[in-house]
Chain A
Amino acid sequence: MSASPVETKKPAKITVKGLRKSFGTNEVLKGIDVEISEGEVVCVIGPSGSGKSTLLRCLNKLEEISAGHVVVDGFDVTDPKVDINEVRRHVGMVFQHFNLFPHMSVAENIMLAPVELKKATKAEAREQALTLLERVGLKEKADARPASLSGGQKQRVAIARALAMNPGIMLFDEATSALDPEMVGEVLQVIRDLAASGMTMVLVTHEMGFAKEIGDRVIFMDGGVVCESGPPAELFGNPQQERTQEFLSKVL
C-alpha cells in the first residue's frame, strides 16, 4: 500500500484482502481485494450468483470467512479475538426482505439495540427512534406494527433501525429488490439523503440508474471475483472488460 497513491484519498474505512468464501465445496468468493475510504459510496453490481451479496455479508461476518482479511472501521473481523458484536454496532445493515421484528412496534424495532446494549434508557431510545423515523418520514407510524406497513415503509423503518446505533458504515443488500416499483423511489430517496450526509456505504443493487447516480465507485463482480471497478461514468460509459460489456448490454 505504501507505494500506491492512497495518500491523496481519505483513510480506508473498509479493507478487504484476498477474501475467499466457500459453501462446502462451492467457492463463491475467489479472492477479493477492495478498499473503501471514509464517506465513499460504493455500488456492487453483477449477475446473480456472482458473490456480491456474500461479499457484503462477509463485511460484518454474517458469513464465516474462509480465507483472507477483512478490516472494518479498524477492526480485523477475521481475527477470532475480535468482539464481532462490537464491530457490528459500527456497521448498519439493510436486508432485501426488511427483516423487521413482527412482534414489536416500529419504535420498539428501532429501540431494541440501544436499549439492550445499554447505550440509552428507554426514554432516550424512544426519543432517538422518533428522530430517526422523522428522518425517513414515518414518525406517525412509531406505534404501528410492521405488518400494517407497505413494503416501502417497512424498508424505511429497517433503515432507521440500522441507524439506531449510529454506525459509521451502512450496508444495503438489494434493499429495493423486493419492493413494488412505485415504492422504490421513496426508499432510494432515503438512501440518497444518507449518502449526502457523508455516510460510508456499500450497496448491492440491481438499480443501474441509481448506482450511476449515487455511486462514487461501481464494482462489477462476476464468478466470485471483482471483474472491473471504477467511477460510474467510466464503468457504465466505457467498460473495459468483455464480461462487463456483456452484462451491461443485458441490463441497460
Chain B
Amino acid sequence: MTESRKTRAPRALLRAVIAGLAGVFVLLGGAGAAMAQPSDSNVEGKNFVIGTDTTFAPFEFRANGELVGIDMDLLQAIAKDQGFSVDIKSLGFSAALAALSSNQVDGVIAGMSITDDRKAIYDFSEPYFESGVQMAIAKTDDSIKGYEDLAGKTVVAKTGSEGETYAKSIAAKYGFTVKSLDQSATMAESVKSGSAVAVFDDYPVLAYGVSQNNGLTTVTEKVPGGSYGFAVNKGQNPALLAAFNDGLAKLKANGEYDKILDKYLADPASAVPSNFWERLGNSIPALMNGLGHTILVTAISFAVAMVLGLLAGFMKLSNNIVVRGISTTFVNIFRGTPLLLWAFLFYFGVPQLTGLPMSIWVAGVLTLSLNSGAYVAEIVRGAIQSVDPGQLEASRSLGLGYGKSMQKVVVPQAFKMMTPSLINQLIIMLKDSSLLLAIGFTELLYQGQQIYAANFRITETLLIVGVIYFVAIMALTKLANYVDRRFNK
C-alpha cells in the first residue's frame, strides 16, 4: 500500500491507520481464510461483492445518483458475459483495499495501478487500462508551453500517485517544486487559484476534468505509465479472476471494450451533463439521502451513548474501586483515542479478528456511541456531583434507598443541569458523523464529496453541504431547547 493512488478527507491519519491495519491483516492472514469463498472454477450464477472507490472519474463516479464510469461499465459487461452478478460497494480507495484484505469484499476495481507492492498482497487480473501521466495548466495561462517553462514554479500532484513520482523525477532537471495534494478536484482548484501553475495526474482523470469545465487544459503528451488491474485477495477467488480475464479478452475482441472507453474518454463531455445547476438539482436526492443517513446514525448512536454514558457516569461515582476503574478505563480509552481509529478498527479489524462480517451501520453506531458515551459519562458524573449532597441526605434520611434516592431526587435535578451539555454533545456527534465517510458510510459530506469529485465545483458543493448541515443543526438545536424548556421547567 505504499502507492495509494488516492485517499479521502482526513488523509494523513487515514493512511497511517490503513497502512497499520493492512500490516496487521497480512499477519493475521490465516484467520481471514475462513471467510473466503470456496474456490470453484464455475462463477456462473454466483454473486460477488466488489469494492470500488467513491469517486474517481472517469473510472467510477455518480451521474444522476447512479454509479457509472469505465470500471463500472467494464465490470458489468464482463459479469454479463460470464454469467455472474455483482454487488458494488462504493467504499473509497483505501477503504476498498482494507475491505478486500479483511474479506469484506471479493474483489476491488478502482482504477488501481498494478504495482509490485500490491502484487505481494493481491492477485491482479490482466491490465484492463493503460494509463499514463500528463500535465495540465489553467486554461487562462499562456505562459506554460512545456516542462521548460516550469522553472522556479510550483506544481501539484496527487500524494503517492504516479503523477507525483514522475513530477519529482523531472523536478530537478526543470527546476520546479512539487507540492502533493490528495484529490483531483482540490488540485484543479489550486492551479486555478494560482498557488500552483500546473498539475501532474493520470491522463484519463485530467481529460475528464477538462471536459467538465474544471478550468484546466492539457499541454503535454502523456507519459506511458501504469496499468490498471482488477484485484482479488492473494490466493482467493481464482475463478473470479479467470472469469474477469476471459470476459475482458472477449470485450476487447468484439469491440465493446473500445466503445466503453470512447464513451468516457473520446468525447467525455457527452457522458454527463455539464451544467452545474442542473447537476446540482440531480444531486439533491443523493444529498438528502446522505442527510437522512447522517441524522439516523446520529439518533441511534446518541440513544446508545446516553445509555452507556449514564451507566459509566454512575459507575464513576461508585464506592467500589473495580467498578470505578472499569468506567474510568472506558472513558479514558475513548476520550484518549481518535474517533476515526475506532471506525477503522470496528469496520475492518473486527471482521478480521472474528471472521464475521460487520455491517457499516453497526460499525458507525459503535464508533460514534462509544466515543460520545465517554463524554456523556463525564457530563453525567459532573452533573450528579454538582447536585447538593444535602439532597441525597434528605432523601436517605426519609428511609429511601440509594437507588431510589438517585432516581427520584438526584438524577432529575442532575438531568436538568446536564441538558445543555447533552445538546452540545448531540450536535458534536452529528458533525462528527461526517468522519464515517472514511469507511464509506454514505452520509451527507460523503455525498457532497462524490458530487464535487465528479463536477469539480468544490466551493459551491461544500457551501451547499455546509448550509444543509447548518440548517439541520439549527433545527436540532431549536428542537432540543424546546424539549428542554418543556420538561425542565
Within the assembled complex, what's the spacing in Å between the Cα atoms of A60 and B393? Answer: 11
Please determine whether B397 and A164 come into contact, CB atoms closer than 8 angstroms. no
B residues with CB within 8 A of A:
388, 390-391, 393-401, 404, 408-409, 412-413, 416
In the complex, what residue of chain A is closest to B393 when comparing beta carbons?
A62
One of B394, B404, B416 near A101 (C-beta < 8 A): B394
Please determine whether A113 and B399 come into contact, CB atoms closer than 8 angstroms. yes
Please determine whether B413 and A102 come into contact, CB atoms closer than 8 angstroms. yes
In the complex, what residue of chain A is closest to B401 when comparing beta carbons?
A85
Is A86 in the interface zone, CB < 8 Å from B? yes
One of A86, A88, A97 near B398 (C-beta < 8 A): A88
In the complex, what residue of chain B is closest to A90 when comparing beta carbons?
B399
Within the assembled complex, what's the spacing in Å between the Cα atoms of A60 and B409? Answer: 19
With a cutoff of 8 Å between Cβ atoms, the chain B residues found around residue A95 in the complex are: 390, 393-394
Please determine whether A88 and B396 come into contact, CB atoms closer than 8 angstroms. yes
With a cutoff of 8 Å between Cβ atoms, the chain B residues found around residue A86 in the complex are: 399
Within the assembled complex, what's the spacing in Å between the Cα atoms of A93 and B394? Answer: 8
Q: What are 16 pairs between A and B in contact, CB < 8 Å?
A: A85-B399, A85-B400, A87-B399, A92-B397, A95-B390, A95-B393, A101-B413, A103-B412, A112-B409, A113-B398, A116-B404, A116-B408, A161-B398, A164-B398, A165-B398, A165-B399
| 107-123 of chain A: CB within 8 A of chain B | 112-113, 116-117
Within the assembled complex, what's the spacing in Å between the Cα atoms of A99 and B396? Answer: 12
> In the complex where A97-B390, A99-B388, A103-B413 touch, is A117 in contact with B400 (Cβ < 8 A)?
yes
With a cutoff of 8 Å between Cβ atoms, the chain A residues found around residue B416 in the complex are: 103
> In the complex where A101-B409, A103-B413 touch, is A117 in contact with B390 (Cβ < 8 A)?
no
Within the assembled complex, what's the spacing in Å between the Cα atoms of A97 and B396? Answer: 16
> In the complex where A102-B413, A103-B416 touch, is A112 in contact with B390 (Cβ < 8 A)?
no
Q: A101-B395, A101-B413, A113-B400 are in contact. List 5 more A-B contacts (CB 8 A).
A: A85-B401, A95-B390, A103-B413, A112-B395, A112-B400
One of B394, B398, B412 near A89 (C-beta < 8 A): B398
With a cutoff of 8 Å between Cβ atoms, the chain B residues found around residue A165 in the complex are: 398-399
Question: From residue A49, how far is it (CB to closest CB) to chain B in Å?
Answer: 20
- Pairs A-B, 4 closest by C-beta atoms: A89-B399, A99-B394, A113-B398, A99-B390
One of B388, B393, B408 near A112 (C-beta < 8 A): B408
> In the complex where A102-B413, A116-B408 touch, is A88 in contact with B397 (Cβ < 8 A)?
yes
With a cutoff of 8 Å between Cβ atoms, the chain B residues found around residue A101 in the complex are: 391, 394-395, 409, 413
One of B399, B409, B413 near A88 (C-beta < 8 A): B399
With a cutoff of 8 Å between Cβ atoms, the chain A residues found around residue B395 in the complex are: 101, 112
Q: How many residues of A contact B (CB 8 A)?
A: 26
Question: From residue A57, how far is it (CB to closest CB) to chain B in Å?
Answer: 8
Please determine whether A99 and B399 come into contact, CB atoms closer than 8 angstroms. no
Please determine whether A93 and B397 come into contact, CB atoms closer than 8 angstroms. yes
With a cutoff of 8 Å between Cβ atoms, the chain A residues found around residue B388 in the complex are: 99
In the complex, per-residue mask of A64-96: 1 if CB is within 8 Å of any chain B CB, else 0: 000000000000000000000111110111010
In the complex, what residue of chain B is closest to A115 when comparing beta carbons?
B408
Question: From residue B367, how far is it (CB to closest CB) to chain A in Å?
Answer: 35
In the complex, what residue of chain B is closest to A114 when comparing beta carbons?
B398
Within the assembled complex, what's the spacing in Å between the Cα atoms of A86 and B396? Answer: 11
In the complex, what residue of chain A is closest to B413 when comparing beta carbons?
A103
Within the assembled complex, what's the spacing in Å between the Cα atoms of A85 and B400? Answer: 6
With a cutoff of 8 Å between Cβ atoms, the chain A residues found around residue B398 in the complex are: 88-89, 112-113, 161-162, 164-165
In the complex, per-residue mask of A131-166: 1 if CB is within 8 Å of any chain B CB, else 0: 000000000000000000000000000100110110
Please determine whether A99 and B400 come into contact, CB atoms closer than 8 angstroms. no
With a cutoff of 8 Å between Cβ atoms, the chain B residues found around residue A93 in the complex are: 394, 397
With a cutoff of 8 Å between Cβ atoms, the chain B residues found around residue A158 in the complex are: 394
Please determine whether B412 and A62 come into contact, CB atoms closer than 8 angstroms. no
Within the assembled complex, what's the spacing in Å between the Cα atoms of A162 and B395? Answer: 10
Please determine whether A99 and B404 come into contact, CB atoms closer than 8 angstroms. no
In the complex, what residue of chain B is closest to A117 when comparing beta carbons?
B399
Question: From residue A160, how far is it (CB to closest CB) to chain B in Å?
Answer: 12
With a cutoff of 8 Å between Cβ atoms, the chain B residues found around residue A99 in the complex are: 388, 390-391, 393-394
